[in-house]
Homo-oligomer: A and B are copies of this chain.
Amino acid sequence: MASIKDVAKLAGVSPSTVSLMLNNTGYVSAETREKIASAIQTLDYTPNELARNLSKNRSNLVGVIAPDVTHPYCGTIVKYIDLYLSSRGYKTMLCSASSSRSTDLEYINMLKRQTMDGIIATMFHPDVPIDVGKPFVSIDGDLNGHIPVVMSNHRQEGEIAASLFLKNGCRHVVHLTSNKTWRTLALQRNEILAETLRQNGALVDVIELNNHIAESSYLDKMAQLLFDQYPDVDGIFGSELFLCHCQNEAKMRGKRIPEDLKLIACDGTFLSDLNHFTAIVQPLKAIAKKSVDLMVDLTKGKQFEQRVYEFNVSVQKGETTIV
């Protein structure tokens, strides 16, 4: 295989001139450019990305921490992040083995070792120190004061959900929360939901779910548990995937939707469209785009202007509520 030296020799220039042209890092005259281009073509020269990466000290890879791409929320956010990263010349390194302190520590080590230029995390263990002076963007997670956060307006989400349940006459709402370990700001929606409902005399109960786990058997078991524990539940707020299991369980127990039971989904992915759920739609495309924009800025040494970027949600009326 031809090397950069072969190209330089054939073009009658120095290897560093070829490098200047290929990396676009300095002035090369039009005449010289033409000679180099012709030599590259003649020799069928392909630059070795590993060498280029080393010389630029960049991998052009961004690690995306998302525990399970078969979970509609994770899959959707990964899809859009990958789309925007690609359009900016970066590639996505999938980091799925998340949810433990040790795997997240390993991702930070990879970041230190230059395996990737930065990390965008949808979940990250709060006990793992991130202060390695490398680009890091968090979605929903309040990790520390130096890490920018991109998120939906979860307080607004909680307010809207509460108001919808009340308008639909619900008196006993069960909502699913993610594991509190993760210090996710998505928990804000649950606090406001519970507070507003209680102020209006409704009963509120909480079931804690393992984040973003898409295993059917697990979700089935949790749906059964919900109806066993709270047989008079008349409103459920949770992720679409879990609501699908609740829908099945409700049918088996003879509960009619929306007459006896109202369901409101909290992500608003394709699974809400498919199942005609009433949903609070998170603007996942906008969140992905802002995360990528921040990441690209950080890899270029720019600083972020705000620490928290918040996006408004919207409501999609489906068939699982009356109004």
Q: Is A269 an interface residue (CB 8 A)?
A: yes
Chain B residues, Cβ within 8 Å of A82: 69, 94, 96-97
Q: Contact: A50 with B46, CB < 8 Å?
A: no
User: Which stretch (A111-119, A161-169, A230-238, A287-295) binds chain B?
Assistant: A111-119
Q: Contact: A50 with B114, CB < 8 Å?
A: yes
> Copy number of this protein in the oligomer?
2
Q: Contact: A79 with B70, CB < 8 Å?
A: yes
A289 CB, min distance to chain B CBs, angstroms: 16
26 CB contacts below 8 A, A to B, read A46-B112, A47-B113, A48-B113, A49-B115, A50-B57, A50-B58, A50-B59, A51-B54, A53-B53, A54-B54, A61-B93, A69-B75, A69-B82, A70-B72, A70-B75, A70-B79, A78-B94, A82-B94, A83-B96, A86-B97, A91-B94, A91-B95, A92-B93, A216-B274, A244-B274, A248-B274
Q: Is A297 an interface residue (CB 8 A)?
A: no
Chain B residues, Cβ within 8 Å of A248: 274, 276
Q: Contact: A93 with B93, CB < 8 Å?
A: yes
Chain B residues, Cβ within 8 Å of A216: 270, 273-274
Contact bitstring A91-111, B, C-beta under 8 A = 1, else 0: 111111100000000000110
Beta-carbon contacts under 8 Å, A54-98 to B: 54, 57-59, 61, 64, 68-70, 72, 75-76, 78-79, 82-83, 86, 91-97
- The bracket for how many chain A residues form the interface is 35 or more
Q: Contact: B78 with A46, CB < 8 Å?
A: no
The one of B49, B68, B91, B112 that contacts A114, using a Cβ cutoff of 8 Å: B49
Chain B residues, Cβ within 8 Å of A49: 59, 110, 113-115
Complex CA gap A130/B110 in Å reads 31
Beta-carbon contacts under 8 Å, A1-55 to B: 46-51, 53-54
Residue of B nearest to A133 (CB): B1
Q: Is A245 an interface residue (CB 8 A)?
A: yes
A322 CB, min distance to chain B CBs, angstroms: 19
Residue of B nearest to A215 (CB): B270
Complex CA gap A320/B184 in Å reads 39
Complex CA gap A169/B109 in Å reads 60
Q: Contact: A93 with B96, CB < 8 Å?
A: no
Q: Contact: A83 with B54, CB < 8 Å?
A: no
Residue of B nearest to A273 (CB): B216
The one of B93, B94, B109, B270 that contacts A214, using a Cβ cutoff of 8 Å: B270
* For the complex of A and B, 10 pairs with smallest distance between CB atoms: A49-B113, A70-B75, A92-B94, A216-B273, A49-B115, A50-B54, A69-B69, A69-B75, A46-B112, A50-B114
